[in-house]
A and B are shown apart, each in its own frame.
Chain A
């Protein structure tokens, strides 16, 4: 029998080792697995490489993980925000490494990892500072930059509903990086709002098939915009 439901986030994240590469879903707070991140902070793994679109907002979630000094390196497209003070402080002090990746290249590198692609050529960033030192190639009448996949040990994502096989649905723009991160990581842990019986999810609306998901934890969404 397949049962990917875990009773607690602590059990779902117990084996994350120091030095792991961890993808964290979300675009700002939409789709950010806040309780899983809180649990990762409590769990204690350090020297992490984190993949996320941003570098944390205010004092919660990813910002708290960074603020706790547990992230050695971050790959993201948009670290600088009005409330990214934890990242800003560590970056200026030289205590966190940044690999800045254009957002579409970040998404495609994650997708490529999950899809078994060895590398790909993208027109994005050609002729800019972010393509310096990278292999380029002219194909037809367009110039491209060679980019490599981003693999991860763990993906922490937030979905809406799940069954015990790990099939997932999402809610509105909280989907963002969830489906591609789920496919790119060796162990994907999804926090969901609701768990349902097998057969209760219409196969037509499953966005992430369970083959990409190892662990599911049901957690109430705590944060709501007022």
Chain B
């Protein structure tokens, strides 16, 4: 079996973002999706620190401390960009104006619960940022993560053991093994993306039951 690498995962997510969409990319792995957006689509990237229309990284030496993304990395603007304050920015999120957000996760449950902010360890310093607002507010909450933990356990689970970021909010899961939809009646396999991975083997690794109906 050959799993997708991080760039291939980002490209797979980007392929599903339609022309005209307003999208927020979480920090870390989801930020990579920006580099793979199809060039023939106009997709507007939202950053919760108050900007719509984020462009690529600036060339070295042209960074500006006042122009950063949610990961506090320097970015540029596209033509058509706009600035707004933090309450307006989260009004956009909670007010269901964002078509998609892409979040990383520790775990996603079969009901679409997501855990991505706290490991639950007693001495951990908790930090939540905008993740709970995005989980509660985006029309489509996409999760992008490696399918298995380092010790081979599925991160797609029956019930999250880590503290939740949001309940019943995830609509689709993209991993290095598969694309899975979360629906009212459970998990539906959309596509196996790892080369040489059979449905039975994916089902074994995933733990939680997957429904699969081949396209007619």
Contacts and interface: CB of A to CB of B under 8 A. Distances in A.
A126 interface: yes
A61 interface: no
B65 A175 contact: no
B75 to A, nearest CB: 9
A7 interface: no
Interface in B62-81: 63-68, 72, 74
Interface string A29-67: 111000000000000000000000100000000000000
Interface string B43-72: 000011111000000000101111110001
Contact of B128 (A100, A108, A123): A100
A130 interface: yes
Contacts of B127: 77-81, 100
Nearest to B134: A104
Given A28-B72, A91-B125, A100-B127, A105 B133 contact: yes
Given A102-B130, A176-B85, A126 B125 contact: no
Interface of B: 47-51, 61, 63-68, 72, 74, 83-87, 89-91, 93-94, 118, 123, 125-133, 136-137, 163-167
Interface of A: 27-31, 53, 77-81, 84, 87-88, 91-92, 98, 100-105, 107-108, 110-111, 122-130, 170-180, 207, 223-226
User: 8 shortest A-B CB distances, which residue pairs?
Assistant: A104-B90, A104-B133, A127-B167, A111-B87, A80-B127, A28-B72, A107-B86, A103-B130
